[in-house]
Amino acid sequence: MPLVKTADLVTPGRGIAAFNVITVEHAEAIVAGAEEAGAPVICQISENAVKFHHGRLGPIAAATAAVAAASSAQVALHLDHVTDLALLHRAADHGFGSVMYDGSHHDYAENVTRTAAAVAWAHSRGLWLEAELGEVGGKDGAHAPGVRTDPGEAVSFVAATGVDALAVAVGSSHAMTERTAALDHPLIRALRVALPVPLVLHGSSGVPDHELREAVRDGMVKINIGTALNVAFTGVVRQAVNDHVDPRRYLAPARDAMSGVVAHLLRVIAG
Ligand code: G3H
Ligand code: ZN
């Protein structure tokens, strides 16, 4: 079916998973996993993925939208971790229903100013905008181990910027290949009570199933997952690549491994 709007899938009280698309195989795996689990899903393309595609947003966005259109699953398209305003401004022309503007590496005042401008632009184009509240000193922005979002500051940030959703630092960390993160559940509950917008968990690949379930129960809504797909993909390629020349011989099982991860995590998060 045609792409649906992110805003229609991000509903308080219900978990929705957002998976990172790097190649067309990722898009195919995400959509196949969503069909298998019978759940809606968000396909997200990051600024880094666009850089990988030689800075061209159009081809990978069009491929992802076409994969979604050929599927029975409800799929939304999200542009993730955008720091470059020129890229942000291209989102509306490529089918995206939402964008994450990432000003988390700026200090609070600068993040507010830049995010408010991004929100004004996004809303003028009918786009839903997610932002992130960073904290000085975090090597990985708001998602370094030990970094936490302050609820009072988050309330002020949301009021000052008008964002539609907020990525918060509650104990996860980007690019973990082991699922050993322990989330700060009292903080998640405090943020849910304090904030009028859906909460977003980044770096969810490192979060075990039981922690993800509890996070959704506590009020996390959008759950971002990238590395877990690449762990599955690369694990299969490592095993199979020496035996084949035709990339289809190792990409097909690698894609299947990713779709299995997607279906499993959708049952955990949206089940
Ligand atoms: O925005 C994307 C996510 O935060 C992905 O993080 O690769 O650690 O799962 P991850
Ligand atoms: Zn992230």
Task: State percent of the chain over pLDDT 90.
Answer: 90
Q: Is 80 a catalytic residue?
A: yes
Distance 36 CA to ligand 2 centre (A): 25
Mean pLDDT of 169-189: 93
Expressed in percent and rounded to 5, the helix, strand and coil fractions of the chain are 50, 15, 35
Residue 137 has a pLDDT of 32
Largest CA distance in the chain: 57
CATH architecture of 6-270: Alpha-Beta Barrel (3.20)
Residue 139 has a pLDDT of 41
Give the SS3 label for residue 77: strand
Determine if residue 16 is left, alpha or beta; phi over 0 gives left, psi from -120 to 50 gives alpha, anything else beta. Answer: beta
Residue 10 has a pLDDT of 97
Give the 3-state secondary structure of 197-245. Answer: CCEEECCHHHCCHHHHHHHHHHCEEEEEECHHHHHHHHHHHHHHHHHCC
Closest by alpha carbon to 198, among 129, 114, 96?
Answer: 129
The number of CA neighbours under 13 Å toward the Cβ of 106 is: 14
Residue 267 has a pLDDT of 98
Mean pLDDT of 105-131: 95
More confident residue, 140 or 42: 42
Residue with tokens 């095993």: 239
Report residues whose beta carbon is within 6 angstroms of any ligand 1 atom. 20, 80-81, 174-176, 202-205, 224-228
pLDDT at 18 over 60: yes
Residue 140 has a pLDDT of 54
* Tokens, residue 177: 């290949």
Residue with tokens 């019978």: 38
Q: What is the pLDDT of residues 80-93, one digit of tens each?
A: 999 999 999 999 89
Q: Where are the domains of the chain?
A: 6-270
| pLDDT tier, 77 (very low <50, low <70, confident <90, very high otherwise) | very high
Q: What is the pLDDT of residues 138-174, one digit of tens each?
A: 345 555 556 789 999 999 999 999 999 999 999 998 8
Mean pLDDT of 99-104: 94
Residue with tokens 């809606």: 40
Q: What is the pLDDT of residues 52-75, one digit of tens each?
A: 999 999 999 999 999 999 999 999
Q: Which of 41, 98, 104, 202 to mutate to test the pocket of ligand 1 (most atoms within 8 A of CB)?
A: 202
pLDDT at 49 over 70: yes
Closest by alpha carbon to 269, among 46, 40, 96, 72?
Answer: 40
Q: Which helix (H) or strand (E) holds 35?
A: helix 24-37
Residue 191 has a pLDDT of 96
pTM (whole model) above 0.85: yes
* Tokens, residue 78: 């999200």
Distance 242 CA to ligand 2 centre (A): 33
Closest by alpha carbon to 29, among 228, 263, 265, 267?
Answer: 263
